[in-house]
Structure 1
């Protein structure tokens, strides 16, 4: 491994539009009982086993935060969000990996806001159990 990078990436939790953010704030104000705070030690491993799978839970699209090996770097706090159509790494992460980017087209959010990414790259990624 070349090194370790600590990062976390995510979009606006309430959505891209002002209307969706206001709706989310209203939801938070009325449904505070369902929130739980999870305390995890800095180096504590989180392991999922077959028994953790709730078959009757219905479709799941909850995000999770994991550690991954990307281009020979251990990247901590990687947000896996299958509700997002784009996978994003901030430029400071790429600079730490000494990886260049190639130009690409703008991204358009639901609210119509335009973001011009610096580029697009292919990264070798390893996910799995360490032996």
Structure 2
């Protein structure tokens, strides 16, 4: 029996309970739990940042709509203004053309009257000369 006891004591001495392995596993679990907590905090921060960014994006979209509306208004006003300027310039050009045409017509009219008057004078002169020639011819007969 004593041999058995010594044998068991020897086996017990040779047998090591894996406390170190259990401690390492426990430390690993604790570390993993801490990492999970840290990751949850990071996820929470990221979600908060995401909400802030979404709000900022929405604000920027609203501002963009306002700016776009103003820009369209300015563009429409500019187009209208350009049309008015174009119509004004076209009117001025038409006025100048009418003025030039009137002056040209006046000159042309004066020229025609002069030509007609001159032509009548030439016809009258020609008729007078013909009459004189006919009178001389009658006297000469």
More helix by proportion, 1 or 2? 2
TM-score normalised by the chain length of structure 2: 0.12
Q: Which is greater in Rg?
A: 2
- Greater relative contact order: 1 or 2 (C-alpha under 8 angstroms, separation 6 or more)? 1
More strand by proportion, 1 or 2? 1
